[in-house]
Amino acid sequence: MKTFLSVVCLFFFSMVIAQDSKNQDWPNINKYQSQNQQIIEGGDYPEVVFMGNSITEGWVNSNPDFFTSHNFLGRGISGQTTPQMLVRFVPDVVDLQPGAVAILAGTNDIAGNTGKATEKMITDNIKAMAQLAKANGIKVVLCSVLPVDDYPWAPGLQPIEKIASINIWLKNYAKNEGHTYVDYYTAMVTEEKAMDETYSEDGVHTNKEGYLVMEPLILKGLAKAFSK
């Protein structure tokens, strides 16, 4: 009960923050609102929701058949950070009653898209999303932050160490909480700790070849999650 109350407090705190932009839709809840409503009204709930940013959104656009054939649903929004995802986690994940959620988040926080974010701020938001999912009977799959050595739109931030640290946290948290960790990072990183150029044109965003690497990894991770 204490954990659930903490999640609720974090969620509503994020809602308060979201209102501090002159009533703009800061977390972009409207993006999937009508689609979510159709799913709820029709009762055609997805097996898995993918929560994320442009990497997740681009994945759906790059290979929609991967999602439709497995009854997966993409809820990625380009540029988003973990506090924005936390605010929309209930309408975009919980309300859709999936069996599992795959969370891929954190790189835009490191890039400072919505302001400077510490590692703890990032991991607290991911933890809150995981707790919301668990409290609603949804299996949790935590995905590693992909390798980046520099952000083209925010150069000089030296993200390598922070990404590695967050990925260690994700792996340990998943193990301690009975969740599942999926490691995209190791399959896509170079010796210089950058994204392999085979899988990305800008060193951040995944291309079709990158998604082909990620797909068997997430399927394996989901199978593990559902077997628990």
Mean pLDDT per 10-residue section of the chain, whose length is 228 residues = 49 46 79 97 97 98 97 98 98 98 98 97 98 98 98 97 98 98 98 97 97 98 97
Which residue range forms the structural domain that includes residue 99? Answer: 2-19+47-227
Phi and psi of 68, rounded to 5°?
A: -65, -35
Query: Is 34 part of a structural domain of the chain?
Result: no
Query: Is 32 part of a structural domain of the chain?
Result: no
What pLDDT is attached to residue 68?
97
What pLDDT is attached to residue 16?
44
What pLDDT is attached to residue 19?
45
- C-beta separation of 85 from 107 below 8 A: no
Please state, in angstroms and rounded to a whole number, the distance separating the CA atoms of residues 14 and 27.
10
Please state, in angstroms and rounded to a whole number, the distance separating the CA atoms of residues 136 and 173.
19
Please state, in angstroms and rounded to a whole number, the distance separating the CA atoms of residues 169 and 172.
5
CA angle 186-169-86, nearest 5°?
A: 105
Query: Is 97 part of a structural domain of the chain?
Result: yes
Query: Is 107 part of a structural domain of the chain?
Result: yes
Determine the number of helices (DSSP H) and then strands (DSSP E) in the chain: 11, 5
Torsion (CA) 51, 142, 210, 163 in degrees, nearest 10 = 110
Query: Is 74 part of a structural domain of the chain?
Result: yes
Query: Is 42 part of a structural domain of the chain?
Result: no
**Which of the 8 DSSP states describes residue 105?**
-
Residue with tokens 């903490």: 6
Q: Is the pTM value of this prediction over 0.85? A: yes
Total domains, the chain:
1
Which domain CATH number covers 197?
Answer: 3.40.50.1110
Residue with tokens 């150029």: 197
Of 129, 143, 100, 112, residue with least CA distance to 10? 129
What pLDDT is attached to residue 24?
85
Q: What are the E-state strand segments in 32-99?
A: 48-52, 72-76
What pLDDT is attached to residue 192?
96
Query: Is 30 part of a structural domain of the chain?
Result: no
- C-beta separation of 52 from 78 below 8 A: no
Of 31, 66, 28, 67, residue with least CA distance to 46? 67
